[in-house]
Structure formats: structure tokens, C-alpha cells
């Protein structure tokens, strides 16, 4: 029998609250798992940003990455470590680097997802370059933006083809507003997307490995109120549809942690934004849902580290495309896509692992989220975002919402 230590790295940016809670709860679990002939324990460390030798070995088994979108040094270190050391990272960095909103729309349209009609339009302005004018004069075709807007129908949304965090998103209700928004869009390449009207639910489904959380979402509310605290508000059928959609998207692109926004209109779930592979993980927005995120993150990262999960760096899309080409209803296709996704995420093995080795997590987490460690993590994050005169008020608000989760989870 050998004693082994699996090391989990946290590749972080401005994150404050969730890594504090992740680290502290992992320590409290004090895991020493009997896996075959070995006893396996776990350590967690925050990954630094520094020069590296391309032959330098990687000391981590799993990295939870939050920087690939923004920091090239971290991204290239992660890609190197996958290639040279078989590091497991979520999410797939090559996929993140190339699969923006536009690609995710096109791919899911091919699979039959009921994505609203979406157009890509050339930018209003361009960066100057030696061949810019010659290229535009030869190939840039004049187009009638108002006619395109009329074809899509109003309301519609103009949003960056690669954007996130609602930056640059404009709700447009008529031709005049469309032309004005385009004139103000500058050098951004934009999508025009049909608005989903009417709708009765706007849900953000958070997927982390073969786990998911349904959140009634209100994008018009202040950030601290967008994630509503409703429970059991969806039918079983709706939950199956949304979880399958989310898992299929994530498995297709190699994303472990992503969220899918969808609106239900006339009984049909219409996904509108599902390339969010660095989802908001802060207590200041998630509050009531924050403990679920920490627990789900722990379970999946521990499983991946303990089982030496393979990275699946190469994406295999043909299995999905073969199903897409069949003469079946979308519901039938989605069910078959989901089987591929469940296989990809090793859902049965994961559940067995959690039942055997992490059965005490719920009890430990329930006590932990009533602790001073959590209160301090909340306050640190609030202090980073809110003016001084609001720190006490919002720290108490988010604390009380987590205590509501504790009460509800005891029901």
C-alpha cells in the first residue's frame, strides 16, 4: 500500500470568495481515500504567473482555470502542461481560445437546437492596415441593415459575436434604434439575434461536470438579485431538457464548467447564450446558490484528480453530427446526444465515487457555511466591489441568503 497526494491548482484572477471557501472546505473534509491499494489525499495551491521552461514538469494533477480568457501566459502554460504532462484542466484551453459565441451558435444550430435566428454583420469601423482600403473596395458589399432587421423582426438584440458579461448588448425595438446602435458599435463584429417573445421563464443552467443547477434568472435586476432564490420551479420534463442541453454543449466543446441561458416560449426552450465557460462564481451574485457551486466544484475536481481523468484534448464531433443527420425529432436527438455527454462525463462512475468517498460532504458543508470563514470570505468580496458605506449591508444580505440555503437544505 502506498500513500499518494493529488495536487489541485487554482488558476485565479480577481476571484476572492470561492477559492477561500473551496480551500477551507477541502481542508475540513480531510480526505484520505482508499483507491485500490493506495491511500490518496489532496492538496490545493494557487497557481502563480511566472516565466517557465517548456520542459519544466507540472506538479499538479488538476487545474481549475479561471484565466485562459484573459492571460496569455497562463493559457500557454496550461496548454504546455496538457501536452507534456497530461494535466487535467477545466476547461479545454484550445476550445476556449477558438469557440466564441458565434461558433457555439453555429454548432448547436447544426445539432438542431432551437437557437433564435441570428445574423453576423461586418463591423462599422476597422483598424487601419496597408491593405484595408483595397480589400474593402473589392469585396465589402453594401448592405441594407434596416432590411436585415426587418427580416429578423423586432425586438432583436445586437451583441458582440464573442462577448460576455452583457457588455455591448443592446435591445432594439425598431429600425431607427438598430441603425443608431450599429453606428455606435465601432470596430466590434456584432450579431443580430431575434428576441424571444413572449417567454414565461428565463433560466440559467449551470453545468459542472455531470452536475447542474437551475436558476430562475432576471437580467434586468441589479447584479445581486439576478440569481433568484426560487426552488423546484420547473417541471421534471423542463429540468431534463435544460440539463441535457447544457451537458451536450459542454461535452461537445470540452467544457467542464459552463452555463446555458435559455428562455421558454410557447413550451419550447430557446437557448440564447451558452458560451459562458468561465461562469460567474462570486458570492455577490450567486449568494443562495454559492454553496452548491463550491460543493459541485469540490466533487468534480476531487473525482478528476483521484481517478486521473483523461483530458480529452481532441474534440470528437462526428458522433453528434451523425445523429443530427438522422430523420428524428429534436427531442429524440437531444436524448441521444445526452447519452454521449453522460459517457463523456463518466456520470455513473462519478456518482458511485461520490456515494462511496464523499458521503459526508453535505453534512460538513452545512456546518461550514455557517462559519466565520464564510462570513469573512463574503466580506472580503463585498469590500472589493462595494463602497465602504454599503459593505455592512451587503455582507449581511449575502450571509443571510446562504443561511437560507442552509435552512432549506435541512428540509
Q: What is the pLDDT of residue 387?
A: 97
C-alpha cell belonging to residue 348:
455513473
Q: What is the pLDDT of residue 58?
A: 97
Instruction: Spell out a b/e string for 118-143, using b for 16 or more CB atoms within 10 Å of the CB, else e.
Output: beebeebeeeeeeeeeeeeeeeeeee
**2-98: CATH topology:** Rossmann fold (3.40.50)
Say if residues 216 and 230 touch (Cβ distance below 8 Å): yes
Beta strand ranges found along 36-103 (DSSP E): 38-46, 62-65, 88-90
Which CATH code of 3.30.1490.20, 3.30.450.20, 2.102.10.10, 3.40.50.12710 fits the domain covering 117-194? 3.30.1490.20
Q: Is 286 helix (H, G, I), strand (E, B) or coil?
A: helix
Whole-prediction pTM value?
0.95
Torsion angle in degrees (nearest 10) through CA of 371, 373, 374, 377? 160
DSSP 294-305: HHHHHHHHHHHH
pLDDT in tens, 192-232: 999 999 999 999 999 999 999 999 999 889 999 999 999 99
- Mean pLDDT of the 240-251 span: 98
Is residue 341 predicted with pLDDT exceeding 70?
yes
Say if residues 310 and 254 touch (Cβ distance below 8 Å): no
Is residue 165 predicted with pLDDT exceeding 70?
no
Amino acid at each position: 500500500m502506498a500513500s499518494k497526494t493529488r495536487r489541485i491548482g487554482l488558476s485565479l484572477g480577481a476571484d476572492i470568495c470561492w477559492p477561500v471557501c473551496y480551500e477551507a472546505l477541502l481542508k475540513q473534509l480531510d480526505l484520505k481515500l482508499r483507491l485500490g491499494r493506495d491511500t490518496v489525499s489532496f492538496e490545493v495551491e494557487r497557481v502563480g504567473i511566472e516565466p517557465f521552461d517548456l520542459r519544466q514538469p507540472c506538479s499538479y494533477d488538476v487545474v481549475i482555470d479561471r484565466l485562459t480568457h484573459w492571460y496569455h501566459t497562463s493559457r500557454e502554460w496550461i496548454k504546455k502542461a496538457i501536452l507534456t504532462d497530461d494535466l487535467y484542466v477545466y476547461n479545454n484551453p484550445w476550445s476556449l481560445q477558438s469557440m466564441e459565441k458565434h461558433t457555439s451558435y453555429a454548432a448547436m444550430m447544426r445539432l438542431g437546437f432551437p437557437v433564435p435566428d441570428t445574423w453576423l454583420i461586418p463591423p462599422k469601423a476597422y483598424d487601419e492596415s496597408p491593405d484595408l482600403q483595397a480589400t474593402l473596395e473589392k469585396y465589402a458589399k453594401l448592405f441594407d441593415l434596416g432590411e436585415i432587421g426587418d427580416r429578423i423582426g423586432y425586438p432583436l438584440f445586437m451583441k458582440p459575436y464573442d462577448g460576455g458579461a452583457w457588455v455591448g448588448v443592446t435591445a432594439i425595438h425598431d429600425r431607427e434604434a438598430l441603425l443608431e446602435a450599429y453606428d455606435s458599435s465601432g470596430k466590434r463584429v456584432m450579431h443580430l439575434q431575434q428576441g424571444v417573445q413572449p417567454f414565461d421563464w428565463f433560466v440559467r443552467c449551470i453545468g459542472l461536470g455531470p452536475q447542474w443547477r437551475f436558476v430562475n434568472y432576471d437580467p434586468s435586476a441589479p447584479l445581486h438579485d439576478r440569481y433568484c432564490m426560487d426552488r423546484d420551479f420547473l417541471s421534471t420534463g423542463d429540468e431534463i431538457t435544460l440539463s441535457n442541453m447544457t451537458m451536450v454543449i459542454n461535452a461537445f466543446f470540452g467544457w467542464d464548467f459552463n452555463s446555458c441561458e435559455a428562455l421558454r416560449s410557447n413550451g419550447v426552450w430557446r437557448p440564447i447564450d451558452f458560451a459562458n465557460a468561465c461562469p460567474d462564481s462570486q458570492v455577490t451574485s450567486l449568494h443562495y446558490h454559492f454553496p452548491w457551486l463550491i460543493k459541485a466544484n469540490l466533487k468534480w475536481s476531487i473525482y478528476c484528480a483521484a481517478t486521473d481523468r483523461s483530458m480529452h484534448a481532441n474534440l470528437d464531433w462526428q458522433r453528434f453530427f451523425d445523429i443530427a443527420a438522422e430523420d428524428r425529432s429534436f427531442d429524440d436527438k437531444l436524448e441521444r446526444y445526452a447519452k454521449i455527454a453522460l459517457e463523456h462525463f463518466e456520470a455513473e462512475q462519478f456518482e458511485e465515487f461520490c456515494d462511496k468517498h464523499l458521503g459526508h460532504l453535505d453534512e460538513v458543508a452545512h456546518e461550514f457555511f455557517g462559519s466565520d470563514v464564510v462570513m469573512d470570505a463574503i466580506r472580503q468580496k463585498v469590500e472589493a466591489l462595494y463602497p465602504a458605506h454599503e459593505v455592512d449591508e451587503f455582507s449581511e444580505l449575502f450571509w443571510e441568503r446562504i443561511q437560507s440555503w442552509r435552512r432549506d437544505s435541512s428540509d
